[in-house]
Amino acid sequence: MGRLIDLQIPTVPVETPGGAFAVRGLSLEDIVNLYNEHTAQAGTLFDQFNKWAAADGTGEELPPLGEFVAMLISQAPVLAARVIAKAADEDSPEGLAMARRLPPLAQTEALEKIGEVLEETTDIDAISCGNDQIANAAVQLLAERRLAGKVA
């Protein structure tokens, strides 16, 4: 059996007129950090994502990702650039600046590929279920210590 540090995280190339770079899917830590740093935008986008994801009416198949990516870029360009920079492992001021300067088609391609890798490698339902279990455990712990409603 291999070692954790020897794992190769799946990446896909993004081609731009100025060259290519690789992106990976976002980790749970990436997603939580992005959400915490962009709470207002992320909450609105999450609501819109749910509407977009339910667009086919069955809830079994997602509509084409391009529609959601276009909405993300137009409504939250800094958040979109942060996603790209994180997925390219360039989450620095310089990496964010470059992600913000990418042409719109390159940003769209990068975000679509990040979504594809994330979808192939992540069970979103399991993450959601895990988050619910953590939240419930935290509420129970606060209640047991008589802190429920007192912590902001």
pLDDT tens for 113-135 read: 998 887 776 544 444 444 555 55
Average of per-residue pLDDT across 131-150? 55
pTM for the model stands at 0.66
Between CA 98 and CA 135 the distance in angstroms is 36
Rg (CA), the chain: 18
Who's near 22: CB < 8 A, 6+ residues apart? 11, 12, 13, 14, 88
Please say whether the beta carbons of 91 and 85 come within 8 A: yes
Categorize the per-residue pLDDT at 85 as very low, low, confident or very high, splitting at 50, 70 and 90.
Answer: very high
Helix (H, G, I), strand (E, B) or coil at 11: strand
* Residue corresponding to tokens 């994180």: 86
In tens, the pLDDT along 30-83 reads 988 888 887 777 677 767 766 766 766 665 566 666 666 777 777 778 888 999
* Lookup: tokens for 86: 């994180």
Residue with tokens 């291999």: 2
Cα gap 65→53, rounded to integer Å:
9
